[in-house]
Structure 1
Amino acid sequence: MSVFARTPVQEASFGGRRRLRGLAWLMVRQHRAALIACAAATLIGALWIIHERATMLDALHGAGWPAKSSEDLDGATVQRLDNSFNGFARYLGYLPLVFGVFIGAPLLSADHEHGTARLVATQSVSRLRWLAWKLGFALGLVVVTTGVLGALFGWWWRAVRHVVSSNWLDGTVFDNTLPVLMALGLFTTTLGIAIGALARRAVTAMAVTFFTSAAFLLVCDHFRTRLATPRRVAFPFEGAQPAVLNDAVQVDQWIGTASGKVYGWGTCVSDAAPEACRARLGIVNSVWDYFGYDQMATLQWTAAGLLLGGSVLLMALVVWRTRRQAL
C-alpha cells in the first residue's frame, strides 16, 4: 500500500478542515477576534438579560406586584431594580459606537494600510467579490448581535415597563430595542467603513469614527419626537386625565378655551388672581400634545428606515470609492 494512501479517518479530518475555503476562510481567519468578541457579547448579554429579568420579576412579585401598583411598592426596592435595568441599558447603548469604531473603521483601512487588499487583488478574486465578502461578514456580525440583544432587551422591558422609570420614548428603551438598535448598529458600522475607505489608516479612521458616531448619536436624541406628528387631547382644567393618556409620552402642554384656542401653560400663573385671569381669557381646559404607546412601532420603524437608508447610501459610497481607487 502506498505511503501516500489516507485512511477514512484522515480523509474526514482533512475534509473537516477544508469546510471553509477561499474568502470565507479568509474572513474568519482575518476577523476571528471580532467574531469571538461578538459571539461572547451575544451569549453573555443574552444570559445576563434572562437572569436579570427573572430576578427582577421575582423581587416584584415578592413585593406584591402587580396586585399592588408600582406607587405602593417599597421605594428602595423599586429604585434598586430600576438602577439595574437602566445600568444594563446604558451599556447596551454603547454597542453601535463600539461596532463603528472597532469593526467598521478598521475593516478596509487596515487592509489598505497593511497591503492585504493589494495581496488579495493579485489572486483570482475580483475586487467587487472581495468587497462584498468584507461588508457582508462585518454587517452580519452586527445584525446577529444587535438582533438578539435588542429582541431580548425589549422582552425584558415589556415585562416591567409599568415599574421602571424610563418611558418608551426615552433613548434607554427606544434606541435599545428592535428595530432601532439594529439600524443604529448598521449605520455606525457603515459610517466607520466609509471613513476607513477614505482615510486608509486604521487609527485615524477609528478616531474620526468615534467622534463622528458619538456626535450623531447625541443629535439623534433631539429628532426622536420629530419622527411623527403628536396627537392632541383637551380635558377639564385640573381635572382627571383621560384614559387615552395612559402610557402616553407628553411632548408639550398648553391650556385652552372651549373654542380650541390655546395659551402657554404658564399663562396666568404669575398673576395676582390666577383664577380670575383664566376666567377672563375663557380658559377651561388642559391641553396635551402626546405620543400614544400604540405609536411606538411606527416611530421605531420610521427611525430604522431612515437609518437603513443612510446605511445603503454609505455602502454605495464605499463600493464606488473602493472600485475606483488604487489598492
Structure 2
Amino acid sequence: MSTLTRGATDGRAATAPAPAPARRLRGLAWLVVRQHRTALIACAVAVVLGAAWIAYRRGAMLDTLHGAGWPAKPPSEVDGNLLNRIINDLGSMGSSLAFLPVLLGVFLGAPLISADLENGTARLVTTQSVSRTRWLVWKVGFALLLSAATSGILGLFYAWWWRSAGPFAPDDWLNSPVFAVTGPTGVATALFTTSLGILAGALLRRTVVSMAGTFLVSGFALVAAEMFRPLLDSPRRLAYPVGAERPALLDHVVVVDEWFGTASGKLYGWGTCAHDSSPEACRSALGIVDRVADHYTKDQMAGMQWTAAAAFTVLAAALVGALLWRARRRAL
C-alpha cells in the first residue's frame, strides 16, 4: 500500500508563503490615513504636549495657591502678584489655543486638496474606480475629524485648568480666550477654518497661495466674530442710586456699558454733565437719579457659546457643501 504525500516534491516539503498581516484600515480609509500621516502625527503630538503642559501648569498653580493659604485664606488676602501671574498664565495659554484653529486651517485644510492638485494625485485617484465625490468625502471627513479632535481635547484640558482657578480666574470671560477655546466654540471654530482652507485649496489650486489666503481670511473672520460676540445675547441691566456704593455684583460680571438714568427710565451717556462746572446740579436738573450698568453674567456664557458654535458650524457646512457642489459640476 502506498501513501501519497501532497506538497512534497523530490523529498522536500513545500513551504507556503507566510500570509501578509491584515490591515485594519482598507480602501480609502487606508489611503487617506497613509497620505496624511504627517498631519495626524503632528496633531497627536500637539495634543499630548499641550495636555501635558496644561496639567503641569495647573498643578503648579494649585501648589502655589495652597502654599499661599488658599482655600483656608479668602481670595482677597492672597498676594496680588500671585493673582496677576495666574491670570497671565491662563491668558497666555488661552491665546495660543485660540490661534489653533487658524493653524489647523492653514496647515491641515489648505494643503488637503491643493497639494493633490499640484502633484497630480487628484487626477490619478479620480481616474480609478473611486468616484470624485467619494474621494472628497473621505478626505474632508478625515480633516474635519482630526481638526475637531485636536481642538476639542485641548479645549477640555484648558477648561479643566480654568475651572480649577476658581475665584482667581478672570471675570471678563467675554473678552478672554476662554470663550473661544472652551465648550463647543473651539471645535466649531476649527471646523470652520479647516473647511475654509479646504475650499481655498480647491479653488486656488496652489498650496502656498491657499495657505496664505486661509491665514488672512480666517484671521479676519475670527477678529470679526470677537467684535460681534456681545450680540449673541442681550445684556442684563442693573440700576442703583447715584449716591449709593457700586454693588459688589458688578465686580464679578462683564460690564459692557454704563449709563445715567432718570426715574422714568430715560438713559443718558456716562459722560453726561462731566464737563459742567457743577456736574451734580446738572444731572439733578435732568432728573438723573440712577446709575445703570449693562452686564453679562457667567450663566449666560454657555448659551452664547452654543450660539457662536452654531454659526461657525453652519458656515463650515456651507463651505463643504460648496466644495462638493463644485466637484460634481466640474473636474478638479
Taking structure 2 as the reference length, the TM-score comes to 0.91
- Relative to structure 2, which stretch is displaced further, 75-84 or 183-192? 75-84
Shift of 1:81: 2.5
Q: What percent identity do the matched residue pairs reach?
A: 52
Tell whether the 8 Å contact from 1:90 to 1:172 is kept in structure 2 after alignment.
yes
Does 1:34 pair with 2:39?
Answer: yes
Shift of 1:243: 5.9
Deviations 1:171-226 (A, max 9, x none): 41111112111111110000111111111111111111111111111111210101
> Structure 2 residue aligned with 1:5, among 16, 23, 34?
16
Tell whether the 8 Å contact from 1:194 to 1:315 is kept in structure 2 after alignment.
yes
Partner of 1:119: 124
CA distance in 1, matches of 2:144, 2:321: 14
> Structure 2 residue aligned with 1:88, among 81, 85, 93?
93
Partner of 2:208: 203
Shift of 1:76: 2.2
Deviations 1:113-150 (A, max 9, x none): 11111111122211111111101110010111111111
Does 1:60 pair with 2:65?
Answer: yes
Coordinate RMSD, CA, aligned = 1.8
CA distance in 1, matches of 2:228, 2:15: 68
Does 1:100 pair with 2:105?
Answer: yes
CA distance in 1, matches of 2:132, 2:220: 33
**Which residue identity does 1:311 align to in structure 2?**
A
Does 1:271 pair with 2:276?
Answer: yes
- Relative to structure 2, which stretch is displaced further, 125-134 or 233-242? 233-242
CA distance in 2, matches of 1:301, 1:294: 13
- Relative to structure 2, which stretch is displaced further, 178-187 or 275-284? 275-284
Partner of 2:287: 282
Question: Which of the pair has more CA radius of gyration?
Answer: 2
CA distance in 2, matches of 1:101, 1:108: 12
- Relative to structure 2, which stretch is displaced further, 116-125 or 271-280? 271-280
Does 1:214 pair with 2:219?
Answer: yes
Partner of 2:329: 324
CA distance in 2, matches of 1:264, 1:174: 29
Deviations 1:256-309 (A, max 9, x none): 122212111111222212222222222221101111111101100000000000
CA distance in 2, matches of 1:309, 1:181: 14
Tell whether the 8 Å contact from 1:166 to 1:173 is kept in structure 2 after alignment.
no
SS at match of 1:326: coil
Shift of 1:72: 2.6
Partner of 2:10: none
Partner of 2:235: 230
- Relative to structure 2, which stretch is displaced further, 70-79 or 32-41? 70-79
Partner of 1:192: 197
> Structure 2 residue aligned with 1:75, among 64, 73, 80?
80
CA distance in 1, matches of 2:51, 2:243: 45
Tell whether the 8 Å contact from 1:166 to 1:172 is kept in structure 2 after alignment.
no
Q: Where do 5+ consecutive residues of structure 2 fail to align?
A: 1-6, 8-12
Partner of 1:297: 302
Partner of 1:15: 21
Taking structure 1 as the reference length, the TM-score comes to 0.93
- Relative to structure 2, which stretch is displaced further, 300-309 or 269-278? 269-278
SS at match of 2:24: coil
CA distance in 2, matches of 1:3, 1:143: 52
SS at match of 1:284: strand
CA distance in 2, matches of 1:3, 1:69: 82
**Which residue identity does 1:183 align to in structure 2?**
A
Q: CA, structure 1 residues 3+83, in 2 after alignment: closer, same or farther (shift >3 Å)?
A: farther
Partner of 2:244: 239
Shift of 1:87: 1.5
SS at match of 2:128: coil
Tell whether the 8 Å contact from 2:184 to 2:305 is kept in structure 1 after alignment.
yes
